[in-house]
Amino acid sequence: MRTTYRMRAGRFLGILAAGLIILGVAAVVWALGLPGAVVSVFGTLGGLIVLAGLWILARPPLVARLRDRELEVRGVRTPWTDITEVGRVETTHGEAVVLRTKYPDQPVLVPISWLAPGRATELETALRDKLNAVHGYTIWDGTAPDDNGSAE
């Protein structure tokens, strides 16, 4: 099983906008009659930035990747067996999904504002399901277990 969560594409609209602005500057420079070398520099630079912006919008950077044996968050891999709890926490950058590990000073944070709307809850559910599977937990359905006749 392999699930990926990418950054919200809207965070990168500024790159595309910057490229379009530079292309606009190239048009103004051309309209003013400045040398072709200046126009071509602005045009090439603007075009490359627009292409980069379109590429990033089409394929935003990865925030988290859930693998069978480990979790990768922003390039840092953590084995599932090292993760003890999933929750939410308030940070200076807003709310985040926090993964507490066996090492108290090494929590893993995934800022919710980085994810597309609705994906944070989906990520939390997937993380909890994976942790339950790894640690052998099952979701309690509110009923008592079957009586197997043994004294407690």
Domain-wise residue ranges, the chain = 7-58, 65-135
Question: How far apart (Å, rounded) are the C-alpha atoms in residues 134 and 33?
Answer: 67
85-129 per-position pLDDT tens digit: 888 889 888 899 888 888 888 888 888 988 888 888 888 888 888
The CATH number, out of the four listed (2.30.29.30, 3.30.2310.20, 3.40.50.300, 2.40.30.10), of the domain defined by the range 65-135: 2.30.29.30
Residue at 11: amino acid letter: R
Question: Strand pairing of 76-79 and 83-91?
Answer: unpaired
17-62 per-position pLDDT tens digit: 999 999 999 999 999 999 999 999 999 999 999 999 999 999 999 8
Contact present, 91 and 109 (Cβ < 8 Å):
yes
